[in-house]
Structures are given as structure tokens and as C-alpha cells.
Amino acid sequence: DTIDEIGVRDGSNLSIDGLDFAPTFSIWTTIEETLNPPIVWEKNRGLYTTDCFSEPEIFHFPAGIGAYECVNVEHEEVIMIPREIDCNRVTFKYSLGAEFIDWLKTFAYLGLDSNEKIRVGDVSVSPRDVLAAVLPNPAKLGHLMHGRTCAGTWVKGMYDGKPREVYLYHVADNETTMRDWGSQAVLWQTAMCPVVALELLANGSWKGTGVRGPEAFDAVPFLNLLGEYNTHHGIMEMGPGLWPSPKATGQPGWDRPVKRAVVPSA
């Protein structure tokens, strides 16, 4: 058995009432992950960076979420997974959407993605901090949000001498997380998995030292404990006659030729 590619694929069909632009996660972190060059790992090449929003593909998400375009972003799984699992390639992609990508590009062109402080009157401020301050707080948007978010890992390779693709995923429904936990779906899902991991470390189900990702440990206790918390996860077989495989669009990424105005230091 061999693994050709491991690809984290995250997407959602979330909508927010009454707001034209309101990220469901920290805009500070979102800028860091999307406007830094994405990282890809290949066995014969090692780690390398690509253009922002590169290698777009249509990915069909489960649980009624639907098909969305996913693009490369910067995320630590690309660095951590190859340390533990023998494979040929590792990627991480978000379904950002064309409109959201246009917003991010605009922030970059205006210099609003910068975390370097500039003088505004008598104070020094970071443009990115200002942007985060003026946008709605994602933690306060739950009552306006509708839909589901999905985070999962697509694995493609050979099993028993035959090609096989699977997608192991975790879904959070905003109506459910707001009702049961008082938290919107994206933030709840982001917090839930680390909490489960900490519980496994605390009860001795997982043991280890050093800086290690969850891929270094047995997945079965983790998935079982997720089930005990009544949170949905599943696995899909993908390929011809099954759930659709990812399909590349062939569109180029964005090499970010940003030329900002020079800001005087005094």
C-alpha cells in the first residue's frame, strides 16, 4: 500500500445575515494563512512555496455543503504530516471563494495586511490591527450565521493493489453548535479538536514528548471521543462511480505583485 497525496480540505456553505463582509474567523490569522506564500511538500522536492491561491480545484464537500473551489494556503499540517506519514505529497486548501479572495487582494494592495506599525497622528498602529478592530468580532456572529463547515483530510493512493481515495471529515452545523454550546460553528470546530486531543493526553490514551502533531498518534481514540461528544464525523470513498474526486480548474495562482506607496517614517 502507498499514499500518493494527503490533502487537508476545509470548506463551508456558511452565510451571515445583513453583512457584506464579515469573516467567520480571525481576519488577522486569515491574512497570515492566505497572503503568505502557501507551502507544499513533495517527497522528491521537500518543502516549497507557491503563488497565493494556487492550484484551484473543485472539491465536493459532504453533509449537504456542496461543491466549492479550494486553493492552497499556508498551514502547519503541510510541515507536520510528512514527519510521521510516508507519502509523496502534502497540501492544504481552503474554499475561500472568488469574492473573499478579491477582498484579500484589496487589503494587500492597500497595505492593510501589514503588521508593521505606522504613524497616524500621535499614535503608532498596525494596519492589520486596525482592520481587525473595525470588522465584526467573529465570536459574536453566531446568531446571524447559517450553514455548516467541514474540515477533513483527502487521501489518495494504492490499497490492496488498487487505486483508492477517501475523505475523512468532521462537520459542524452552526444551528447545533449555537444551541448546544453557545458558539458559532467555525470557532467551535477549531476549539473542539484540540480539547479532545488534550483529554486523550490527560487520560493517557495518547503518550509522547516533543513537538508532535495529531498525526503522530492513534486516530481511533480521537474519533471515538469525538463521537462521545455527539459531534459528526465520517469517511467517504471517492472516485469513479463514487463520491466525486477533486477536479483541478487549471487557473493560475496570484504571485502578489504588490507595489505599495512609500509611507514616510516621520
pLDDT, one tens digit per residue, over 221-248 is: 999 999 998 887 899 999 999 999 999 9
Chain position carrying cell 510528512: 82
What residues make up the domain containing 130? 2-171+237-248
Residue 51 lies in a domain: yes
Question: Across-strand partners of 163?
Answer: 158
Q: How much of the chain exceeds pLDDT 90, in percent?
A: 88
Residue 128 lies in a domain: yes
Among 149, 131, 162, 160, which residue's Cα sits nearest to residue 22?
A: 131
What is the reported pLDDT for 230? Answer: 85
Residue 181 lies in a domain: no
Pairing assessment for the beta strands 123-125 and 39-42 based on DSSP bridges: unpaired
pTM of the model: 0.91
Number of domains into which the chain is organized: 1
**Do 123 and 129 contact (CB within 8 A), yes or no?**
no
Helix, strand, coil % (nearest 5) of the chain? 30, 30, 40
Q: Is 253 helix (H, G, I), strand (E, B) or coil?
A: coil
Measure Cα distances from 3 to 6, 108, 236, 238, 244 in Å.
Answer: 7, 37, 17, 15, 19
Q: How many helices (H) and strands (E) does the chain have?
A: 7, 14
Rounded to 5 degrees, φ, ψ at 171 are -115, 140
CATH of the domain at 129: 3.30.360.10
What is the reported pLDDT for 266? Answer: 43
Residue 93 lies in a domain: yes
Residue 183 lies in a domain: no
pLDDT at 257 over 80: no
Residue 73 lies in a domain: yes
Residue 189 lies in a domain: no
C-alpha 167 chain-centroid distance: 15
